Structure 1
């Protein structure tokens, strides 16, 4: 039975192609806001980091009403590090709007999200966005989309549907058109096509209850909230239901509260029917993949597999000499409690205490995935330190070592392609595809996740900042052998003092500095990078010896190059095995694990790294 009053659609696209802006305009077109209401841009990117980074991190559900049809809209992340969100939430949809930039065309992560939509057998309509952008070529972008769908194995019905259902839009200007030049100035052609063309849920309203949890929300007041689509039957507040876990275990539970989505919020209701998306409160320790079903006529649904993490980082309490100066929360107990709370909320991460109880190991899908958590914690006032990200290896049935392999795509100027290939070769990458255009070269590589770390900086250096670089997890493949790390040595502070311009003036001749005059430094802290291999201990607080024949004010002004600054992701990629990143609410510092040079030398002798 078709539920004609409901449409469940997902909006899928590459990072920064305009998904969230498009949803804003759909909300405005369906009068979700009062006429005089002040609304921020990208209203669905409610998280501070989402707004600052300009990316969607968490998949979100909203609903809008148009022509007496309830449209449940799922805004998905476009970044591969948050791919675990995309795979699951597409199970709630019957159709998808593929959003593509009219100038850029399909990009690497377009392939990633589109492949999941095709695998889920969704009906896909194409929306060519940013048609007002300079260099826009809507016709080419559409043809490239259709070619990509063929490459990804779309069947004839999906291809035919996509060819017949195309909308041209400028989300930022608030219009959608059936023809790029027809002069329409509102979003109604897009909404009409969603209602008229995308399929309604085909479900059995009178059958036994079957609902699957695909997203878990968390409330400090009611605990875990299971969100998912109802495939058959009707669920009521107060119902006794059977909860079937992914491992087959079963338990009885009661629905305490029931919500459906209503524009940007949730609306409490007494019942929800098949075809709708609902949020259920009261099911203890509910998890991704749980099936809520009728105890007397249980329905079986396929379990949901979450892609395994590929990288892990160990969080430890800070042991820096400057600990407690910038953050309010520095204790190991509070750090563990915060990460245990994250484990409740974030099912895409694996969070476990280390065997020696000194830290907590957090495993995720990539450095960005992990750094988003760190950034959130430092904003909450935490101070902590983390080691170098470690790749999570596997073994196949024959005992062979496997490691995560990434698919990396680079678009760079033609004259830089040779240097890019060389950089990938040194990092253990192998080229899988190359196509040269008039000005740009498109390169594709398969490269171990270990080799990705620090690669973006090197690519930007050899292409003078003109490259576009994306990567996403491909598969677990054979271990690729040793991959060289950082080539240059570090400059390490020998004392705990503030940096002085005179000392930095002499040190900048030896390499690149990370600190400026007046910055707090401590023994063992990385203050710069040498231009040669091998670490060097330096004095950043050395001042000029003054005789009585000249005063300090008559000294020659020191000309300093601005220091190199690191984002959290860049610092994590930069450090070596014996180094740590110290994270505070105000600073990101890199340091040696063993701060004392004498102790570091003893450690190297004990481990046979130098001659006695």
Structure 2
């Protein structure tokens, strides 16, 4: 008949699944590999892992060793938390085989070994992927600042970023000179997009710079990070994907093989610079059916320039609300990013120019009204639907002299210098 509960399954597990192999090492010195990093508002930093050998009591002095055996810090274990069902409960002693969270450390992180003071051999661990891009998170200083969000001061932004770095091993935070912005290093614009999206939903307003790839010098040669992209696509799109990755984005095809009926798996090594902004293009090229995974592969000598956005932008020269008639007249100049009645300000990017140079335009200009009427001349203004960018698209779209303004209700593009004279001065200084 129907079974009432899962007792039989649990009995099977107890009778046939072997006990943790670590139990055999109960009498050795304590060693644990930290596999996840967390934080608790009351306890502070938490490292979770499985005890590989020995026993550990609350209050014991232990040390943290890096992957290569360097001592990172020595600390007292203030709390040991064990998993009981879905909750965590405090326990007095952990033994080999237990999965526990430890509190008390300040510097130790994922892939470090927490062990007795007598131990000098760390456990084997996969290295953490280093950050590959940096983005500047600054205060929102546009004329529309503070209207949507409540968290706008740099102090509040800094606190939130530091809190994120406590529990997110892939993110590093540094202050910039002047203290108005913070340099956030991470593994890709998608990860940055998730962090920014979370922050805007919490009520933050930010200005975000274009992602910069982290380079390093080795024997006088500039090295850049390379990622291994593993792509599964339908056969018909494989040509377009390979062409994009290997030509404009400076990637190298490593392997291409069938992956089931009508599918192809492509493995390529692509510079991190080449993957900025690629995800959206990839989904367009594969009609939303492709799957793209990327992982840090290594460093390679700099591969030369990768073409970015070729078109210039249309910049508003007035503050106010955009007028349908003005936008209709500007459509022949390029693609619009704003709709009628949307608030715009001097220095805000309202569209993409059809040529390579930037153009200042007036989106507030109404129609000159006269008392002359002619049949057919007063037709309703019909506007082409605008392009709304996602956060990741906007971050990848901007150039170095531009910013993305992010508020809880809007994503706007703007020039770093809103005043046209300041823009000219800055361009001359760089020129």
The bucket for the TM-score relative to the shorter chain is 0.7 to 0.9
C-alpha distance 430-288 of structure 1, shift in aligned 2 (>3 A): closer
Give 1:199 shift.
7.3
Of residues 175, 198, 201 in structure 2, which corresponds to 1:376?
A: 198
Q: Determine the structure 2 residue equivalent to 1:287.
A: 109
Q: Distance in 2 between matches of 1:465 and 1:226?
A: 38
Higher relative contact order (CA 8 A, sep 6+): 2
Preserved CA contact (<8 Å) 1:210 1:299? no
Q: Determine the structure 2 residue equivalent to 1:67.
A: 10
Q: Determine the structure 1 residue equivalent to 2:31.
A: 210
Which 5+ residue runs of structure 1 have no aligned equivalent?
A: 1-28, 32-64, 69-191
Give 1:484 shift.
0.9
Q: Determine the structure 2 residue equivalent to 1:52.
A: none
Q: What does 1:46-85 correspond to in 2, within 5 Å?
A: 67=10
C-alpha distance 395-468 of structure 1, shift in aligned 2 (>3 A): same
Q: What does 1:116-515 correspond to in 2, within 5 Å?
A: 196=16, 200-202=20-22, 203-237=24-58, 239-246=59-66, 248-249=70-71, 253-295=75-117, 297-298=118-119, 300-302=121-123, 304=125, 305-396=127-218, 398-424=219-245, 425-435=247-257, 439-515=262-338
Give 1:362 shift.
0.8
Q: What's the RMSD between the two structures over aligned residues?
A: 2.9
Preserved CA contact (<8 Å) 1:408 1:470? yes
The alignment partner of 1:408 has SS state of strand
Q: Distance in 2 between matches of 1:194 and 1:364?
A: 43
The alignment partner of 2:207 has SS state of strand
C-alpha distance 325-470 of structure 1, shift in aligned 2 (>3 A): same
Preserved CA contact (<8 Å) 1:241 1:292? no
The alignment partner of 1:509 has SS state of helix
**Per-residue deviation, residues 454-493 of structure 1 (Å, max 9, x unmatched):** 2233344445545444433222112101111102221111
Q: Distance in 2 between matches of 1:517 and 1:249?
A: 61
Preserved CA contact (<8 Å) 1:395 1:402? yes
The alignment partner of 2:229 has SS state of strand
The alignment partner of 2:381 has SS state of coil
1:590 aligns with 2:413: yes
Preserved CA contact (<8 Å) 1:241 1:293? no
Q: Distance in 2 between matches of 1:447 and 1:560?
A: 40
Preserved CA contact (<8 Å) 2:320 2:343? yes
The alignment partner of 1:321 has SS state of coil
Tell me how many residue pairs correspond in the alignment: 419
The alignment partner of 1:508 has SS state of helix
Preserved CA contact (<8 Å) 2:111 2:128? no
Q: Distance in 2 between matches of 1:417 and 1:346?
A: 35
**Per-residue deviation, residues 469-518 of structure 1 (Å, max 9, x unmatched):** 44332221121011111022211111111112112222223322211111
Preserved CA contact (<8 Å) 2:193 2:392? yes
Preserved CA contact (<8 Å) 2:188 2:276? no
C-alpha distance 537-412 of structure 1, shift in aligned 2 (>3 A): farther
Give 1:417 shift.
4.1
Q: Distance in 2 between matches of 1:570 and 1:232?
A: 48
C-alpha distance 550-467 of structure 1, shift in aligned 2 (>3 A): farther
Which 5+ residue runs of structure 2 have no aligned equivalent?
A: none
**Per-residue deviation, residues 16-68 of structure 1 (Å, max 9, x unmatched):** xxxxxxxxxxxxx869xxxxxxxxxxxxxxxxxxxxxxxxxxxxxxxxx9626
Preserved CA contact (<8 Å) 1:503 1:541? yes
C-alpha distance 287-539 of structure 1, shift in aligned 2 (>3 A): same
Q: Determine the structure 2 residue equivalent to 1:604.
A: 427
Give 1:404 shift.
1.1
Preserved CA contact (<8 Å) 2:36 2:110? yes
Q: Distance in 1 between matches of 2:16 and 2:271?
A: 45
C-alpha distance 511-252 of structure 1, shift in aligned 2 (>3 A): closer
C-alpha distance 312-30 of structure 1, shift in aligned 2 (>3 A): farther
Q: Distance in 2 between matches of 1:330 and 1:407?
A: 38
Q: Determine the structure 2 residue equivalent to 1:151.
A: none
C-alpha distance 589-262 of structure 1, shift in aligned 2 (>3 A): same
Q: Distance in 2 between matches of 1:415 and 1:349?
A: 37
Q: Distance in 1 between matches of 2:196 and 2:308?
A: 24
Q: Determine the structure 2 residue equivalent to 1:564.
A: 387
Q: Distance in 2 between matches of 1:590 and 1:313?
A: 15
**Per-residue deviation, residues 299-355 of structure 1 (Å, max 9, x unmatched):** 632375322110111111111111001110111222222223333333321111113
Q: Distance in 2 between matches of 1:408 and 1:279?
A: 34
Q: Determine the structure 2 residue equivalent to 1:35.
A: none
Q: Distance in 2 between matches of 1:195 and 1:454?
A: 52
TM-score normalised to the size of structure 2? 0.87
C-alpha distance 285-447 of structure 1, shift in aligned 2 (>3 A): closer
